[in-house]
Structure 1
Amino acid sequence: MSAAAGGLVIDWTQMTTYNTIMSLATGAALLSLAALGRTVARKETVHAEGWALNFGVLGFILTLTGAHMTLTWPFARYFPFDNIIFGEPSLAFGVILLAAAFYLWKRAATLRGCAAVDRELAGAAQPLSIFVVGLGLAMVAIACAGVAFQLFAAPPEEPISGRFAQYPWLEALFISGLYATVGLTAMLYPFFMRQVAAGQIGSAVQKVTGVLLVLDGVAFLLFGALNYYTHIGLIINTMPKP
């Protein structure tokens, strides 16, 4: 990375990035979890095979990209903390989604005829509580680091986001806010699952969790889609000139 007369120049052979597809898949997965929860709460038919395919596709993307980013050190030469901020959470979430896909696929026939699908799913998901809460705490820690060190700020050469380059705290607050609310959702996980396993539907915890999943899912999905434009523009604007 260097400054040239025409602006910032980045050696993109040393700056691998694909948090675009990560963000897109994360948003789709969060929205899918909210949709599955609503389906179960309304006592509607759970088409387990379809949900398994959905979680399998999203889990594969996040596991593959997250594993590569986590195990390649440093993944982006100029931003080695990307391994921790993007790689590790994506890997963890991806593996959880793959496990959910496997379970739903294997139990599809049983779930189809089950009169208490909500309790069945919650009972199977409860043992993950310790790890999910740990991930929630990690998300909050990343959010705090984002604000403290003003991470996530886009350079002026990046379209749209770069317009706010002189206010690095702005994007830091936005992305850190997403991580913090996802972390809060994860920390509500054991309470949510315990209530559902006990047959309680429609509690305040469940409603708050559902709202957070939808809001964060939409934010990650739209932000990931936007980044396809902004990241392409950044690459074009900062490529070394021949």
Structure 2
Amino acid sequence: MTDPRRIRIVIVDDHHMFRTGVRAELTSLAATPRAGSVDLEIAGEAGAVESAVQVIKEQQPDVVLLDVHLPGGDGHGGADVIRACNGTQTAAGTPVRFLALSVSDAAEDVIAVIRAGARGYVTKTISAEELLTAIGRVADGDAVFSPRLAGFVLDAFGAAAGEVAEIDEELDRLSAREREVMRLIARGYQYKEVAKELFISVKTVETHVSSVLRKLQLSSRHELTAWAMGRRLL
């Protein structure tokens, strides 16, 4: 029996408890003897754009597990991390590869990080075993997507590229957090519900809503809902 291959990863997510859970699950699973197993090393963690860029450049991991919504940077979350690390290589001289791992399954989030250079995108409903397999595939240079998300990528870089570009032009005015708030408000959430969902204050929600309406040149949440529905963002 051949020795399992060694894969070094960095986990980037702004929720410490989630990073801890992923680390524990993957470490435990990788330590279980099984066919096709990998020798997994957690090389580092980060919870914001700037710290993520620093640890990735220092540790030069094979794969980065990357949340798409992160504080810091230019407000584009995981996409900012990928762009800042463009050209970073592992000790073996291969490119550092990025696998987005997010609670979001929104088309614009998927497209943004893939356009930035991620090799795959899976949602947080994935099992630990499926995630370990996805890490191995991305380390090999394959592209990996949760089944429903693959269509977004095909649309974005295929026949519907013009439509996606048009949507992105307006969405790019919003930060990652503003997009989260926008989507929830457009779905009918009250400010208190948005605050609870995103673990922020009601005052912060109000600030984000005002910013979203100003950037999109809208005057009410009703217009915002119509704007989002017209672009199939709900």
Classify the TM-score, shorter chain: under 0.3
Which structure has the larger Rg over C-alpha atoms? 1
TM-score using structure 2 length: 0.27
Structure with greater strand percent: 2
Higher relative contact order (CA 8 A, sep 6+): 1
TM-score using structure 1 length: 0.26
Structure with greater helix percent: 1
